[in-house]
Amino acid sequence: MFKMVTSRTSLDRKSSEEAPVRVIKRGTAVFEKRLDISPQAAFDEWSRPIDVYLRRDRTGNLFSYVSFDFRIDSETVFGFGTPDGKWYRAKQRYEEIVEGQRITYILTIKCRHKLVYLSTVTISFKETPAGCVQIYSEQGTSFDNEPVPDHLQWYAERLFGKNFSI
């Protein structure tokens, strides 16, 4: 666990010791799946809107899409809520799209306009003799011990099926 003083300053503070402190936790997740389809077919599955307009995952979290714009410097925006009523807003800003090979985006998750999670995600598709290997890689940072619902579980279920558990 690391602590970092934010870069904001205020004239009302008498010392830097009064500056807000954020708790930061970092992590990396990598999932691989062999598919019996071409890299282009796997890419196509990730590059179309997901039909999740008001669906619940197995833990009861509610997901709903707001917008989907799959182009460089554009974003997909969606919201998700927990059974206890907390609501999060997530944005995927596309940084790199290489047709049939790779998608890279920056994921930000906010709760009440406060940044609680930030990551870089790359989904790549490598050709194999029997189809392809799909690799999902995420390097993320969470802030202030905010209990963000496990979006990685959602991605793992998308890759490996509903009964997969991380």
Per-run averaged pLDDT (10 residues), the chain, 166 residues:
35 52 82 91 82 54 69 85 78 94 94 90 95 92 74 63 54
- Phi, psi (5° rounding) for residue 128? -130, 165
Residue 85 Rama label (left phi>0; alpha psi -120 to 50; beta): left
Distance, in Å, from the CA atom of 143 to the CA atom of 3, rounded to the nearest integer, reads 10
pLDDT value at residue 9: 36
As given in the structure block, the two tokens for residue 38 are 């071409």
Contact 76, 63 (CB under 8 A): no
As given in the structure block, the two tokens for residue 159 are 């890759």
pLDDT value at residue 89: 87
Per-residue CA distances from 166 to 14, 141, 159 (Å): 46, 18, 12
Distance, in Å, from the CA atom of 16 to the CA atom of 9, rounded to the nearest integer, reads 8
As given in the structure block, the two tokens for residue 154 are 């959602």
Please name the residues in contact with 118: beta carbons below 8 A apart, sequence gap of 6 or more: 106, 107, 108, 109, 140, 141, 143
pLDDT value at residue 56: 54
Distance, in Å, from the CA atom of 39 to the CA atom of 125, rounded to the nearest integer, reads 5
pTM of the model: 0.73
pLDDT value at residue 7: 37
pLDDT value at residue 47: 83
